[in-house]
Amino acid sequence: MTLSTVITWAVVIGGLLLLLKPVGIYMYKVFTFQPTWLDKPMKPVEGLIFRMLKVSTESTMNALEYGVAFVLTNMVWGLMAFALLRVQGALPFNPNHFGNVNPQLAFNTASSFVTNTNWQAYSGENTMSYFSAFAVLQFLQFVTPASGAAAGLAFVRALSGRALGNFFVDLTLVLTRVLLPLAVIFGLIFVALGVPETLGPYLHIHTLNHQTQIVPRGPIASWEAIEHLGQNGGGFTNANSANPLENPSALSNIFQAVAMGLVPSAFFYLFGMFTGKKRLAWTLIAVAETLFVVMLAMIYFPEIHGNPIITALGLSGHANMVGKELRFGMGGTSIFETSTMAFTTGSVASAHDSFLPISSMAFFLGMFLNMVFGGKGVGLINMLMFVIITIFLMGLMVGRTPEFLGKKIEAKEVSLASIAFLLHPLLILVGTALATATPQGMAGVFNPGPQGLSEILYGFTSAAANNGSAMGGLGASLPFYEVALGIVVIIGRYASIIAMLLVGESLLRKKRVPETSGTMRTDTPLFWGILLGSIVILNALTFFPVMALGPIAEQYLMAAHHLFFS
């Protein structure tokens, strides 16, 4: 391990651990309506928005009303995005004269961006006008993560014994007090680091060998800021953060990794502030951080040791740099890819299908769990879902009704949490099965053997986890995948969130019970180990069979020097 790798990892991981507390405290003040330094410039704007929406900071909703507001608002945004993409050619800010987006792709893109997934079945620099980029897609990159954060806030309030709040108030405050200020700061940082920000047309460069090269540019710096702060992940260009116009240096690579985790990790501390259980919050942070480090090791060490087939040829000592960016090195590449999978961002700084099968298992792990900090608010919801299931399992073992935050965990809460948990593998495994069983699905598979199965599995896992990254060997632009993945991202986004909001409201209505000697403490190293074990075991039981047919089989066959050719 090189010194640059150690420094890069220390800056990213250490920076996030140092920042999560002050950012969490700031967010707690914002969402409990305490004074902050942004009151003077933002309160007039927020007051105008509240008056237009006819809401106030005192207004509140029940879980069903909050969920309906969440879904319907997102539906309106999705329909608007679909309509605007369909008439892109007639809209302004289109200096490259791109035409209208076809119906299937417009549906896939609108549903993907409105669910904070940003799965891209298109090449951005060859498909989207500037208007579509900043007025349609970048708008969604702000409001959709804000709506997910609002749902997370409602759930945390319910667990802390407070009313859920008002969706439109929470949405507004996440935008004005969190995302917009941070996007301005990071946007300026990226401009300073050399990322373009312009509405000028693409450049036509005459090369030394008398050829003409088209260099795409646009409002990229502002896109990169909210792409990573909002865990959106969709690239302005097809190469995403592997493109030097989006991610020009090792320093910009570090800032993008930090931007991904800044707000999601702070949400965990925000939970501790709301509930008064800061030790519990640190326990959950420790669980997520442990899984983050495991994923990082799974990516870095196999890749640095290289491809076993090449090593057998006497070329040992060479890292597997295929599809990687030399300017980041393996250390910078591995921390970026770990971050994008842990925080469910989905942006990429390398080609995911070029990683060794054992390394790609870390990508799957992040998306299967969907709570290694995860997206802002939503990752915390998923973590607390596992907490509730774990406490229930512990109660079964000791023959006692389990408790969490002073409330009894009973049949309704366990049933809803189980539905939220099981829906995720259902979407992944059923989608993968349909794709492998139909000619339309198999038509998009360009690699034979276990790698082909892994690419299908990756596509549906990415969609269900609202991650949005992809392996390059799947023909995602085919109508089958445009429609199927569009449906999966919608169900994967909303169903589990609404189920957990109902869990929160159910717990809110219950009376607190006093702690006794039989109450299981959830803020101890023992619970850290039990929760971590439960998460691993539950997901292994769910996903190990299909992983055994995909990346595990491919790694085993690679070790036996068995290759597949298309």
**pLDDT tens, residue by residue, 235-292:** 898 889 999 999 999 999 999 999 999 999 999 999 999 999 999 999 999 999 999 9
Of the listed ranges 57-71, 216-230, 469-483, the one predicted with least confidence: 469-483
In a domain, 45, yes or no: yes
Asked whether residue 293 carries a pLDDT value surpassing 80, the answer given is yes
Which residues form the domain of 110? 19-203+214-275
User: For position 216, what pLDDT does the model report?
Assistant: 86
In a domain, 516, yes or no: no
In a domain, 220, yes or no: yes
In a domain, 425, yes or no: no
Pairing verdict, β 407-408 and 203-206:
unpaired
In a domain, 76, yes or no: yes
Q: What is the mean pLDDT of the chain?
A: 91
Q: Which of 23-27, 401-405, 510-514 has the highest mean pLDDT?
A: 23-27
Task: Please give the structure tokens belonging to residue 311.
Answer: 């090593």
Asked whether residue 97 carries a pLDDT value surpassing 70, the answer given is yes
User: For position 316, what pLDDT does the model report?
Assistant: 63
- The contacts of residue 136 (CB under 8 Å, 6+ apart) are 80, 81, 84, 85
Mean predicted confidence (pLDDT) in 417-435: 94
Q: Are 303 and 330 in contact (CB under 8 A)?
A: yes
Band of pLDDT at residue 84, cut at 50, 70 and 90: very high
In a domain, 521, yes or no: no
Mean predicted confidence (pLDDT) in 506-527: 85
Task: Work out how many domains the chain is built from and give that number.
Answer: 1
Asked whether residue 446 carries a pLDDT value surpassing 80, the answer given is yes
- How far apart, in whole angstroms, are the C-alpha atoms of residue 326 and residue 323? 9
Q: Which of 345, 427, 351, 416 is nearest to 379 (CA)?
A: 345
Query: What are 542's strand-pairing partners?
Result: none
Asked whether residue 519 carries a pLDDT value surpassing 90, the answer given is no
User: For position 317, what pLDDT does the model report?
Assistant: 63
In a domain, 180, yes or no: yes
User: For position 312, what pLDDT does the model report?
Assistant: 78
- The contacts of residue 561 (CB under 8 Å, 6+ apart) are 308, 309, 312
Question: For residue range 161-209, what is the model confidence (pLDDT) as tens digits?
Answer: 999 999 999 999 999 999 999 999 999 999 999 999 988 888 888 888 8
In a domain, 363, yes or no: no
